[in-house]
Structure 1
Amino acid sequence: MADDIHQQKPDEKPIVGTVMVPFPMQGHLNEILHLGNLVASYNIPVHFVGSTPHNQQAKQRLHGWEPETTRKIHFHDIKLPHHQQPNIPLNPPKPDTESKFPGHLQPLFDATEQLRQPVFQLVQNLSTEFKRIVIIHDTMMAFVVQDANSISNAETYAFHSVSAFTIFLYIWESLGDHKPFELDLDIPNGIPSNQGCFTPRFTAYIAKQYEALNFDSGRLYNTSRVIEGKYIDLIAKLPGYANKTLFAIGPLNPINTKSKTRHRSLDWLDKQETGSVLYVSFGTSVSMTEDQITELAIGLEKSSQKFLWIFRFSDRVDLSADEDLGRDRLPYGYEIRVQDKGIVIRDWAPQVEILAHPSVGGFMSHCGWNSCMESISMGVPIAAWPMHSDQPRNAVLVTQVLRTGINVIDWAHRSELVRSTTIETIVRRLMISKEGEAMRKRAVEIGRSVRESTAEGGVSRLEIDSFVAHIRR
């Protein structure tokens, strides 16, 4: 990245400093910390603010960057009031058949509102040190940062942690019969409804954030115009966006991973044939029932395909809880039976490095946007199994728009148990059929284009260069 520094006189204030305000779910934390590293690579001071345990979590789980880059970031740890509700068991949350959204985390989301005053105080203090202080915040933290609008030399930029495709559809549908223009492209059929995507409490939380989201100077998107340029352009035409500058600066995940320590999963992948392994992971906000875990395990085994399965449950409110508690839920003797074909990983694993490994030929995913972007940028096709939030629509983007994946289950049947026979069929279709091979070739081509977009002169590189120039103006 660019490392030029604007010249200034010794007694002058630096031109710009930035404050990053993430939403405390792993996918959101990860994206904004990636963005923080990207901004820091331009020699712009970065201040990352959040609760003490989540700042620690973000640093521990980050991978792919040189440690020197992250050390440039100033982390501001804020102690929140105790948000663990009484009598909440330490066991993973019991999955709900209607909505798999991690509603058990709602006390934490509500507690983040206590960051409002500390964040304002930090921005106010930093505003005296820089000619311009730039706040980059997750859209789900708009309530927290709204007071920055009263600081004369402060600018705020909302960061969208989901796909432009998903954002456009949500806004377009909300306009009802008052559409401002005719669409000049085909929207895929069967767009999933919002039913089952969120709990009612989180839906109300989202509404509260968007009520406060009326002060930002621009929007940032973790996407590339290579894959979503037409949807970025459509968003720019929507009411309320006329005076906003939009920057498609993704993928934020590193393209060339630079971890100095090597996870054991990579050693196992080294021994496998090129493109032969299915990577299975459902992120940090998904918990499956025991019946579904059993069906998945049997389906993977019966497919006779090699697999690397990250077997974790949803993060808890209490991040210090024992992660292995209650996790012996695989069929008896399973790991011994599949040891020639598969490996089960129960700890944190470096997903970007796994997806970049030449042995990986497919990804069974919940289609969180982080996972989608990482898979797309590494050229790996997806077996899409969305669970909640924006994931059902991300799955449509992957399977119908980009055509680099297949559905495990239709969203309309989300409450049904996915049987091992279905999983076996899907795995074999993705990994060893002609259909899967065509998807893999297309994924590789798109991945190459996305990676090229981050190189000097590429569209994503030009977007981040443009954003940096804009805040340094």
Structure 2
Amino acid sequence: MEETNSHVVLFPFPAHGHISPYLALATRLHQYQSDLIITVVSTPRNIDFIRSSLPISTSINLHSLPFSPADYGLPQSESTIDLLPHQFPIFFSATESLRPAFDEFIADISTRDSVCIISDMFFGWTVDVARKHKAFHSIFLGMTGFSGAVILSLWLNLPHNLTSSEQFSLPEYSEVIVNRSELPVYLLFANGKDPLSLFMQRQLSSFYKTDVIMLNAIKELDPSGLVMLRKTFKTLVLPMGPFLGAPNLSALPSGNDSQIIEWLDLLPPASVIYIAFGSQESINSKQMMELALALEESGRPFIWAIRPPIGFSVKDEFKDEWLPLGFKARTKKDNRGLFVHDWAPQVRILSHKSTGAFISHCGWNSVLESLYYGVPIIGWPLGADQPFNLRVLVQLGVCVKVVIRNKETSKVEKEKVKDIMEMVMGENEKAREIRKKTKEIRDVIRGTWKEEEGSSMKSFMEFLEVSKTGAK
């Protein structure tokens, strides 16, 4: 790309967890090369969400691509947030219908601009559009290198189908042993002929063809994962994290934000447990009951971004019967906890001095936010890359595992949860070591964007430079 009249097109997958780091990336691009034309592309309703999340004075352009989920029997929200489990494979395949309009958009701007496309891993077909119009292409991978390498190997090879064993190694990385319990539910039942397998293999094969793989990851935290990616895909791999959403990008506006912060202000430092399992997921009803009992018996204050258990839509009305009898009333009477039934202001909570631990599904955005503010993690992965993120966190010494769930039968007992809370938040040697490690990692992460010397800054500047040279 030339330094003038250069156009960067960012194309996130239509899910809030994917969109937020893209907006942080767009802001960073504009900050360091203000003469770039920057356009974020998405579907109409997601463009409306993005527009509401950006400053009014932003110079970032937005472009809508027509999308009709109803044609596939899907909700009209154009996002994964309203999907039932059986609808996810349909939604993924439906997003391929965006290709003609995207191709037309790139064809138009490439007649006057030098174009760089930064696409989501689930939009792998964009690499062919880039080649067609002689555009530079990069895939932005919103996870750490280890998790990315493992997930890509699992989907591209489906090694779990070649054995009946509970454990198996990966074809490219014989040193990595995967437990069947770590497989995402959809992958567990994938056989290479089902629609989701075919979709994933079509998209992920693009990693072999792209010009650059960008990661929302930290070089110092995952050097072996970066080696794995580079070994397999033999392209430029650049860790450039963290791309963190500003507070208004981490949650939709909520009227109870001020109430939450005022409540936190009254509590001692590092005393509160924050519980959230992401915008898409939940735990099963038995696990929810045990977690509530553990919280009550621990006596520790908490904020729980709570959603209906597995089997219900995340937007269903919450029923108190899913919790121990009288639990919410006792919590309210003692002023010992807060339940958030809508969107929680996660960054505000994690950045508050009173927050001492995060019971998390280990989604990578949440992980980066927690570590950036020095909050230890109690890991409860539910799917996708989360079990492999957990491995990285445990190795770093900043996380303790509760359970890995890919079945509703995964057992969680209140005593175990209570013991882990104490292990992370108590006045014991293990807790002190976890807090010490977490603060060390916090300092590493905050140093990655230092001018000239930061590892992510170096990767970012390398990306700007290499993108000028043009596509393969």
Q: TM-score, normalised by structure 1?
A: 0.81
CA contact (8 A) 1:362 1:430 kept: yes
The residue correspondences of 1:418-433 to structure 2 (distance < 5 A) are 418-433=412-427
Aligned equivalents of 2:309, 2:465: Cα separation in 1: 39
CA contact (8 A) 2:8 2:115 kept: yes
CA contact (8 A) 1:352 1:374 kept: yes
Aligned equivalents of 1:75, 1:87: Cα separation in 2: 24
CA contact (8 A) 2:221 2:396 kept: yes
In the alignment, which of 319, 340, 361 is matched to residue 345 of structure 1?
A: 340
Higher relative contact order (CA 8 A, sep 6+): 1
Q: List per-residue Cα deviations over 1:233-284 (Å, max 9, x = no partner).
A: 3422x1431xx22211101015899999964322222221111111100001
Correspondence 1:124 to 2:127: no
**Residues 59, 354 of structure 1: alpha-carbon distance in 2 compared, 3 angstrom cutoff:** farther
CA contact (8 A) 1:47 1:75 kept: yes
Q: Once the 2 structures are TM-superposed, how far is the Cα of residue 162 of structure 1 from its aligned partner?
A: 2.0
CA contact (8 A) 1:192 1:392 kept: no
Q: Once the 2 structures are TM-superposed, how far is the Cα of residue 27 of structure 1 from its aligned partner?
A: 1.5
Aligned equivalents of 2:246, 2:69: Cα separation in 1: 38
**Residues 84, 386 of structure 1: alpha-carbon distance in 2 compared, 3 angstrom cutoff:** farther
Q: Once the 2 structures are TM-superposed, how far is the Cα of residue 358 of structure 1 from its aligned partner?
A: 1.4
**Residues 436, 31 of structure 1: alpha-carbon distance in 2 compared, 3 angstrom cutoff:** same
**Residues 39, 443 of structure 1: alpha-carbon distance in 2 compared, 3 angstrom cutoff:** same
Correspondence 1:277 to 2:258: no
The residue correspondences of 1:159-178 to structure 2 (distance < 5 A) are 159-170=140-151
Q: List per-residue Cα deviations over 1:418-461 (Å, max 9, x = no partner).
A: 23232222222221142122101100111111111122231112
CA contact (8 A) 1:375 1:381 kept: yes
**Residues 188, 306 of structure 1: alpha-carbon distance in 2 compared, 3 angstrom cutoff:** farther
Cα root mean square deviation, aligned: 3.6
Q: Residue in 2 aligned with 1:83?
A: 70
Q: Residue in 2 aligned with 1:295?
A: 290
Q: Residue in 2 aligned with 1:149?
A: 131
Correspondence 1:158 to 2:139: yes
Q: What one-letter code is carried by the residue in structure 2 that aligns with 1:114? A: S
**Residues 438, 38 of structure 1: alpha-carbon distance in 2 compared, 3 angstrom cutoff:** same
Aligned equivalents of 1:314, 1:146: Cα separation in 2: 41
Q: Residue in 2 aligned with 1:446?
A: 441
CA contact (8 A) 2:318 2:341 kept: no
The residue correspondences of 1:47-446 to structure 2 (distance < 5 A) are 47-58=39-50, 67=55, 71-83=58-70, 102-130=85-113, 132-144=114-126, 146-152=128-134, 154-170=135-151, 193-194=182-183, 196=185, 198=187, 200=190, 201-236=195-230, 238-241=231-234, 244-253=235-244, 263-312=258-307, 323=315, 325-326=317-318, 328=320, 329-339=322-332, 340-399=335-394, 401-410=395-404, 415-434=409-428, 435-446=430-441
CA contact (8 A) 1:265 1:345 kept: no
Q: What one-letter code is carried by the residue in structure 2 that aligns with 1:432? A: G
Q: Once the 2 structures are TM-superposed, how far is the Cα of residue 171 of structure 1 from its aligned partner?
A: 5.6
CA contact (8 A) 1:285 1:315 kept: no
**Residues 235, 437 of structure 1: alpha-carbon distance in 2 compared, 3 angstrom cutoff:** same
Q: Unpaired segments of 5 or more residues in structure 2?
A: 160-168
**Residues 204, 465 of structure 1: alpha-carbon distance in 2 compared, 3 angstrom cutoff:** same
Aligned equivalents of 2:283, 2:170: Cα separation in 1: 40
Q: TM-score, normalised by structure 2?
A: 0.81
Aligned equivalents of 1:253, 1:87: Cα separation in 2: 30
Aligned equivalents of 1:402, 1:337: Cα separation in 2: 37
**Matched position secondary structure for 1:83:** helix
Q: What one-letter code is carried by the residue in structure 2 that aligns with 1:454? A: W
Q: List per-residue Cα deviations over 1:177-200 (Å, max 9, x = no partner).
A: 9978997xxx68969643636363
Question: As a proportion of its length, which structure holds more helix?
Answer: 2
When structure 1 is superposed on structure 2, of 324-333 and 188-197 the one drifting more is 188-197
Aligned equivalents of 1:54, 1:313: Cα separation in 2: 24
**Matched position secondary structure for 2:282:** coil
In percent, how many aligned pairs have the same letter? 24
Aligned equivalents of 1:352, 1:323: Cα separation in 2: 22
Q: Once the 2 structures are TM-superposed, how far is the Cα of residue 287 of structure 1 from its aligned partner?
A: 2.7
Aligned equivalents of 2:420, 2:19: Cα separation in 1: 31
Q: List per-residue Cα deviations over 1:216-235 (Å, max 9, x = no partner).
A: 11110000112113321342
For this pair of structures, how many residues does the alignment match? Answer: 436
Q: List per-residue Cα deviations over 1:361-408 (Å, max 9, x = no partner).
A: 111001111111222222211111111111111111111x21111111
When structure 1 is superposed on structure 2, of 381-390 and 459-468 the one drifting more is 459-468
Q: Once the 2 structures are TM-superposed, how far is the Cα of residue 322 of structure 1 from its aligned partner?
A: 9.6
**Residues 151, 358 of structure 1: alpha-carbon distance in 2 compared, 3 angstrom cutoff:** same
Q: Once the 2 structures are TM-superposed, how far is the Cα of residue 52 of structure 1 from its aligned partner?
A: 1.6
When structure 1 is superposed on structure 2, of 277-286 and 47-56 the one drifting more is 47-56
Q: Unpaired segments of 5 or more residues in structure 1?
A: 1-5, 8-13, 94-99
Q: Once the 2 structures are TM-superposed, how far is the Cα of residue 323 of structure 1 from its aligned partner?
A: 3.5
Q: Once the 2 structures are TM-superposed, how far is the Cα of residue 413 of structure 1 from its aligned partner?
A: 7.7
Correspondence 1:29 to 2:11: no
CA contact (8 A) 1:263 1:350 kept: no
Aligned equivalents of 2:27, 2:310: Cα separation in 1: 24
Aligned equivalents of 2:174, 2:415: Cα separation in 1: 43
Q: What one-letter code is carried by the residue in structure 2 that aligns with 1:335? A: K
Q: Residue in 2 aligned with 1:10?
A: none
Aligned equivalents of 2:462, 2:73: Cα separation in 1: 48
Q: Once the 2 structures are TM-superposed, how far is the Cα of residue 149 of structure 1 from its aligned partner?
A: 1.2
Q: What one-letter code is carried by the residue in structure 2 that aligns with 1:196? A: V
Q: Once the 2 structures are TM-superposed, how far is the Cα of residue 79 of structure 1 from its aligned partner?
A: 3.0
Aligned equivalents of 1:17, 1:87: Cα separation in 2: 33
CA contact (8 A) 1:284 1:314 kept: no
In the alignment, which of 443, 451, 454 is matched to residue 458 of structure 1?
A: 454
Q: List per-residue Cα deviations over 1:328-376 (Å, max 9, x = no partner).
A: 5444543331132211111212222221211111110011111112222
**Matched position secondary structure for 1:251:** coil
**Residues 197, 25 of structure 1: alpha-carbon distance in 2 compared, 3 angstrom cutoff:** same
Aligned equivalents of 2:62, 2:74: Cα separation in 1: 32
Q: What one-letter code is carried by the residue in structure 2 that aligns with 1:106? A: P
